[in-house]
Amino acid sequence: MEAVFGHLRGAIERGEYVVGDKLPSEAELCRTLEVSRPVLREALRALQAMGLTVSKTGRGTFVVANTVEDPTFGDYAASDLLEVRRHVEIPVAGYAALRRTPEDLDHLTHLLDRMERETDTTAWVALDTVFHLAVAEASRNPVFRRVIEEIRDALARQSAFLNELGDRREQSNCEHRAIVEALIDGSEPDAVEAMSHHLHRVEATLTDIVRPQRTDIPPTEGRPEA
């Protein structure tokens, strides 16, 4: 999927498909790229999340931009989602460390064990959103949980996007484990630090996907000066 996404994104950014153009049909793309329809559809969803295309039912997929500005996950732009998460989930982790119950810790530990065993991306993403809801639940403040519930669909879309294009699952599992260990220890500073690190890595991976470092620029060392 990553290869198909990269191919189509590159074609759009190079101007092979310009704004207003309709991409070839799914059948034609599958045949040309030699991939299955599910793989192609995942790549097309990623292009749409990036804001490069829009899919119109019964009409096809159309190019709406040739550069990536701010990916959208459901109803929310990535920048807005990350801003809210920093202001909500970091303090939530601190409160959870102080207020969690033995039942909360059992639930979170069970979720972690399931996530570390899970190999299916779709199932893992579902568990990921449940994990963040469970941390909010452990804060014992229903308003925090309501906020996370409101952005749950966007979180799932973002998580799927990062896992498909950024290979985040194993790293996320380690970061989630650090959060739960801080909650078990009842350490507010450690919980805040663990959640801060987790969200920083989410943002860094997203940035790497949206604005990848160019590797096709020759080094300047040794060139004659103009």
Band (108; pLDDT cuts 50, 70, 90): very high
Q: What token pair was written down for 104? A: 């909360």
d(CA 38, CA 186): 44
Q: Is the dihedral of CA 31, 4, 116, 111 positive or negative?
A: negative
Residue 205 has a pLDDT of 93
Q: In this predicted model, what pLDDT tens digit does every residue of 157-182 receive, in sequence order?
A: 999 889 888 888 999 999 999 999 99
Going along the chain from its start, the domains and CATH numbers come out as 2-63 (1.10.10.10), 72-210 (1.20.120.530)
CA 178 to the chain's CA centroid: 19
Q: In this predicted model, what pLDDT tens digit does every residue of 23-41 receive, in sequence order?
A: 999 999 999 999 999 999 9
Q: Is the dihedral of CA 87, 88, 93, 96 positive or negative?
A: positive
Residue 57 has a pLDDT of 84
d(CA 27, CA 22): 14
Residues whose CB is less than 8 angstroms from the CB of residue 95 and which lie 6 or more positions away in sequence, other chains included: 139, 140, 141, 144, 188
Residue 216 has a pLDDT of 46
Contact 215, 118 (CB under 8 A): no
Q: Is the dihedral of CA 164, 165, 170, 171 positive or negative?
A: negative
Band (155; pLDDT cuts 50, 70, 90): very high
Residues whose CB is less than 8 angstroms from the CB of residue 114 and which lie 6 or more positions away in sequence, other chains included: 127
Q: In this predicted model, what pLDDT tens digit does every residue of 210-221 receive, in sequence order?
A: 887 554 444 444
Whether the pLDDT of residue 226 is over 90: the answer is no
d(CA 201, CA 223): 36
Can you give the pTM of this predicted structure?
0.81
